[in-house]
Amino acid sequence: MNREELADRYPELLALPSRYDVAMVGVVNRIGTTAICYDESKVIEVLMNEDGMEYEEAREFYEFNILGAWVGESTPFFLETE
């Protein structure tokens, strides 16, 4: 599912900037909750590749500024695959 499809189906869910679209896994649902799910390792890769961060710096930035952010009901989920 790409950003345009998500925007059509779930316009309220696009919480992260489009630069993280490559990390989108899909949409997760639970009673009362629907959110976009991102692959955390791919989010960290974006930070490393686009911002020139080393792994540890990117990991810390991700954990504090992205994973730790609450943006209301549309706060995304992050899938840990490694």
pLDDT in tens, the chain (82 residues): 778 888 788 877 877 888 999 999 989 998 988 999 999 999 999 999 999 999 999 999 999 999 999 988 889 999 998 7
Residue 73 DSSP symbol: G
Per-residue pLDDT at 42 = 97
Q: Which residues contact 52 (CB under 8 A, 6 or more apart)?
A: none
Domain residues of the chain, as ranges?
3-79
